[in-house]
Structures are given as C-alpha cells and as structure tokens.
Amino acid sequence: MNAATRLTIGKREFAWGTRTFVMGIINVTPDSFSGDGLGTDADAAIAQGLRFALEGADMIDVGGESTRPGAEGVDAAEEEQRVLPVIERLAREIAAPISIDTSKAEVASAALEAGAVMLNDVWGLRRDPQMPGVLARFGVPAVVMHNQRGRPFRDVIGDIREGLETSIALATAAGVPRERLIVDPGFGFGWKEEHNLEMLRRLGELRSLGLPILVGTSRKSTIGAVLGLPAEERLFGTAASVALAIANGADVVRVHDVKEMLQVCRVADAVVRGWRRPEDRVV
C-alpha cells in the first residue's frame, strides 16, 4: 500500500491499492504518434471524452501538443485554443475528473480555470519554472513524469528515481503537499526499447517513493518494435504491457482504448489484488 493511500481529484476520491484506475487519452492534435490525433476538431474530442466516460474511464487527460519524438511545438495560445473548449464542455457534462496534459504554466493555468482539476506534466515541472507555482496556487493534484530525453544514461530505475525526486522537490518547495503527487516513470520518453521493457520489469522498485504510480504504454513504439506492427494494430501488445504494469505496481494506466483496457485491468486486479464474487461483495 502506498504511503499516500487516498487522493481527492475534483469531486472523486481515489483509494490507491484497491484497484487500478484508467485514464483515457484525448489528443487534440494533428500529429499524435498513435494515429488518434483529432486535429483541432473540438466536437470530435468532446464526443470521445463523453464516450470514454460512458465506458468507465476514471479520469480524462486532454492534451493539445504532441509529445512524440521530433514533433513540432506549438505556442501557448494555439495550445489553449485546442484544449479549452474541450475541457470546458467535458467539465460540465461528465463526472470523471479532467486532467490537462501540458508543460506550459500559462496553458495549465487557463485549463485549470476552465474546469480541469489535475495537471499531467511530461517534463515533471522542470521545463517551465512557473509550473510549480501554478500547481500550488490551484491546489490540484499532478502527475509528474520523468523524461529521459537529453539526459545521460546510467541505470533505468536509478535515473527515473533521481528525476522524480527532483520533480517532487520542486513541487514541495513551492508548497505542494507530497501526497498530492502521482509519479510516472516516462515509458517511451528518451529510452531505448530494451530500457522501456526493463522499466516495466523493475517498476516495483519505484514503490519506495511512497506515491501512486501512473504508467503510459498505450500503442507506443516499443510495443511496435516487439511485434513489428503499426500503432493502430498494437491493442493486444498494449494489453500485455498494461497487465504487467499492474502486476509490478501500477496504480493508474493511461490508455487510448478505454473499454478494452478496463477489462484488462479488472482481470489483472483480480489476480494481483484479489477478487470477490459479486454476490459476496459488501455494498
């Protein structure tokens, strides 16, 4: 069990260790690596978010800038134009908490004002020096990810732990309680394929941080390298990686295919965390 056993995100309480929670991905971008980018079509993104909520997503992550290797960046104004209409509408219409996937403090602030209740920063609060202050001011939880891009390699888990501890320190120095954080080891961000696979194999070593762990393997290139398949044909490979992440300690999985991965989570949880027949459950 994590040191931080419960966390309120928006109006929902998440009890870590009881089951695996599912974060659905909405990419309001024209250049997503996974082939699911919705361009600037806010209506399509909203429809996808509504569908994810009906399918049972525990949280929805909205991003307006591709984080794939080599992707061209966009300025804050364009990023806001992509994500704010989606966040505003979804925040009114679904109960699942909305996360803003950005590394720009300006965009995070606007999104949190628009109805997002969590931050997901793939640079772990390290890219924009204003981000920790925004996080503290809004008083919301955050996913802080270790990003290995541009960093020297020594040891997979050692490098991840060092990066995450730096992100945690940035947050707490700004006044953000440690227990408000979720850590992400950064599968696919600056690693070779063999390093990504080692990351999943050794994921349990990150439990020593005492914080819930989010893992995002969905449709990524390492799965494609193993299977020799394009992004749109990586559903079963993703399912295998999700199940193994859960077996090794993941609390949240970030996925493109909510309905299918919820089934994977339920079976993996039944094995890893134990299972009760429906008629034996205490209501």
User: Which amino acids are annotated catalytic?
Assistant: 220, 254
Cα distance between residue 205 and residue 155, in whole Å: 13
Cα distance between residue 140 and residue 100, in whole Å: 11
In which element (H, E) is residue 34 found?
Answer: none
Cα distance between residue 253 and residue 116, in whole Å: 19
Q: Helix (H, G, I), strand (E, B), or coil: what is residue 178?
A: helix
Long-range interactions of 191-200: CB distance < 8 A, separation 24+: 191/148, 191/156, 193/221, 193/222, 193/225, 193/226, 195/148, 195/153, 195/156, 196/220, 196/222, 197/222, 197/226, 198/156, 199/156, 199/157, 199/160, 200/241, 200/244, 200/245, 200/248
The answer to whether 184 and 215 are in contact (CB under 8 A) is yes
The answer to whether 98 and 120 are in contact (CB under 8 A) is no
